[in-house]
A and B are shown apart, each in its own frame.
Chain A
Amino acid sequence: MVKLAEWRGKEVFRKYGIPLPRGHVARSDDEAEALVRAGTVPLPCVIKAQVLAGGRGKGGAVQFATTAEEARAAARQILSLEFKGEKVREILLEEKLPIARELYLAVTLDRAKRLPVLIASAQGGVEIEAVEDAQIDRQWIHPFPGLTGFEQRRAAEVLRLSGGPAKSLAPVLDGLWRAFVAEDAELVEINPLAVVGEGLVALDAKVIIEDDAAFRHPEYSEIRDDRTPLEEIAREKDIAFVQLDGNIGVIANGAGLTMATLDVLQELGGRPGIFLDLGGTDDPKKVTEAFLLMALAKPKVVFLNIFGGVTRCDTVANGLVAALQQVPAGQRFPIVARIRGNNEAEGTAILRAAGITSVPQLKDSAQAAVDLARRSA
């Protein structure tokens, strides 16, 4: 999931013809002032922190300016903020527009219905979660015809638009739909969509791109989510890795088995801290990399829970043994293993030769890991 900052989301909107305020992104107060003086950003203007967290208006991360000097001062102040744990590195400066009404529009996926859904509300400018359900209209859009004329007319009615703004809605909806599909978005949201004179303008942009579509969107590859450095390494090696507060490292294969393992450890009084999902692999090198990554996270004990399918038990055992030879003596940690399934006997024998016993029952092996963690804590 790649969440785009507002200005990047607006670049997407621009590409699909959605009207935007005149403005520009900046990374310093000098740049902000120059943009205003050059007329790229008309006065009066609004200056907004480009962070992913919501609630910027209340947090001082949005300010207004009527002169270039004020714009500079606001830019400097916002760029010094840390907003909800996120350092502000970029700001967006835009003309301040006379807003008649604020609306809400979004397209996202309804998993249960297996259809995209167009969400519209005449109550924009607030968190959509806070709007009562009766004020939110949902239309499920079939991917084959795509967004149709009658669906657009219904949206205009729901948004209580007529005349010029109603005419302006069609290109906005069309652009939003095309952006959702062509950019492989999980979400495209305009909140608020402002009625300005006879037209409509997208004052904010929230765009989330799906990770699995990265192969056809190299343009988003540089944008990072909120990962820890180790999570970033894991991502590069295509290993699912999540770091939490706890001291037991868990290596399992498959999301479901990984989660079930955590559930059992927690129930037995353990504190799983790092978990790493090998996924399906029969490459011992990937297993070795995963173990070395785990070693970097410095767990008290590692619980290895593998059910061999695509990932064979002997592959995992060989990968583990190779990794242990690379971990310096001072950084080693005890390992509790449970390997079942394809090539279980071979894998168990390889581990035994390396001095590791595989405990076949999940409850017993998880208990052993919890006890070891407690003893070394």
Chain B
Amino acid sequence: MTVLVDAETRVVVQGITGHQGTVHTRQMKAFGTQVVAGVTPGKAGGEVEGVPVFDSVRAAVERTQANASCIFVPAPWAKDALLEAVDAGIRLATVVTEHIPFHDMLTMYHYARSQGTRIIGPNCPGIAAPGKAKVGIIPNVVFRPGRVGVISRSGTLTYEIVNGIKEHGLGQSTCIGLGGDPVVGTSFVDALPLFEEDPDTDLLVMVGEIGGTAEEDAAEYIQHHFTKPVVAYIAGRSAPPGKRMGHAGAIITRGKGTAETKVAALEAAGARVARFPYEIPDLVAALAAGAGRR
């Protein structure tokens, strides 16, 4: 068992004929993922990287039994793409697209939820279970099968940290990049129970950022419901208050969501908090040794 994706995952790529869609279809296939269909309205009958292209998600699902979607559709059309996937019966949708207005995401999230679809993202690198499947854009080179779970609000920082774990001789069970937008389909608190229940995960690395209260909420959950060891890192300790640092999520407002409040909450919940990304592998290795397995 793994978290959300496994060898049975059949991926439809929405926006497959675009540059990113094509590049990452190739990468997902190289990872070993079953990419069974692509969708670009008006391009039915074509092929991208050996994957058949359909006009609609419904047609793709009917013909290929796709059960997960990876969305690369540009922001102005991403909402429609997601709603279409939900309507076609897709129950796991990774939205890689960035700059989706949060008002659109509110509609996407609540509609998906009403139909039983989980969204990962938007503005996220997606999910990967080494040796099984990847839905998203995390570089294949950082992975190695293992027993460390990773959840993160960041993109490249996740790659950096996952790679560090690999270089330390450890491997990952499942890695989820949740995305850094103000409204995300899956938050830390939504993802934590999946790792708690996953028999393939021994310990969890959680990568947060300043801004919002997602890390504080996660700390609360960890304290009461999460039994596995947690190593955490919060990016942005040196960030000046009020300056935007790229993500809408990375804004400090009104003294809430600072690195200090997050670190304090996580430490109080029993997590080991790394001060810098390069401290994470050592902390993980020490805990993994304690957990008895790698």
Which residues of A pack against B, CB within 8 Å?
1, 109, 111-112, 114-116, 129, 142-144, 181, 184, 186, 210-213, 215-216, 240, 242, 244, 252-260, 262-267, 272, 275, 277, 279-280, 282, 306-311, 340-342, 361-363
Contact = CB atoms under 8 A, between A and B. Distances in A.
B243 A254 contact: no
A12 to B, nearest CB: 15
Contacts of A309: 125, 137-139, 155-156, 159
Contacts of B75: 212, 215
Interface in B214-240: 214, 217, 233, 235-240
30 contacts: A1-B248, A112-B214, A181-B103, A184-B101, A210-B101, A212-B75, A240-B246, A242-B244, A244-B240, A253-B156, A255-B246, A256-B155, A256-B180, A257-B156, A257-B157, A257-B235, A260-B236, A263-B276, A264-B276, A265-B238, A267-B276, A277-B245, A279-B98, A307-B157, A309-B138, A309-B139, A310-B23, A342-B139, A361-B278, A362-B160
Contact of B102 (A109, A259, A264, A272): A109
Contacts of A215: 75-76
Interface string B88-121: 0000000000111111001101110000000000
Interface residues of B, number: 63
B106 A242 contact: no
A268 to B, nearest CB: 10
Given A260-B235, A262-B239, A309-B156, A255 B20 contact: no
Contacts of B19: 282
Contact of A363 (B210, B236, B278): B278
B137 A310 contact: yes
A213 B247 CA distance: 15
B130 to A, nearest CB: 16
A114 B183 contact: yes
B207 A144 contact: no
A12 B20 CA distance: 38
Interface of B: 19-20, 23, 75-76, 98-103, 106-107, 109-111, 125, 137-139, 141-142, 152-160, 163, 180, 182-183, 187, 207, 209-210, 212-214, 217, 233, 235-240, 243-250, 254, 275-278
What 10 A-B pairs come out closest when comparing CB atoms?
A256-B154, A255-B246, A256-B157, A254-B156, A213-B101, A259-B236, A266-B238, A259-B235, A240-B246, A257-B156
A337 B103 CA distance: 39
Contacts of A114: 106, 109-110, 183
B160 A242 contact: no
Nearest to A215: B76
A160 to B, nearest CB: 27
B245 A109 contact: no
Given A263-B235, A275-B245, 16 more contacts: A1-B248, A109-B182, A109-B183, A112-B187, A143-B107, A211-B248, A212-B99, A212-B100, A254-B154, A257-B235, A259-B245, A260-B276, A307-B156, A309-B159, A341-B141, A341-B163
A309 to B, nearest CB: 5
B207 A212 contact: no
A259 B210 contact: yes
Contacts of A306: 156
Given A240-B245, A242-B245, A279-B246, A259 B142 contact: no
Nearest to A113: B183
Given A254-B246, A342-B139, A362-B278, A263 B102 contact: no
A116 B217 CA distance: 19
A114 to B, nearest CB: 5
A259 B248 contact: no
B212 A112 contact: yes
A257 B156 CA distance: 6
Residue among B106, B107, B210 with max Cβ neighbours from chain A (10 Å): B106
Contact of A112 (B99, B101, B138, B213): B213
B243 A242 contact: yes
A275 B238 CA distance: 12
B142 A341 contact: yes
A263 B263 CA distance: 14
A129 B245 CA distance: 25
A307 B163 contact: yes
Contact of B209 (A216, A255, A266): A255
Residue among B180, B235, B248, B254 with max Cβ neighbours from chain A (10 Å): B235
A263 B245 contact: no
A142 B111 CA distance: 11
Nearest to B276: A264
B159 A341 contact: yes
B141 A257 contact: no
A116 B106 contact: yes
Given A242-B243, A307-B163, A256 B276 contact: no
Contact of A254 (B157, B212, B213, B238): B157
Contacts of A210: 101-103, 248
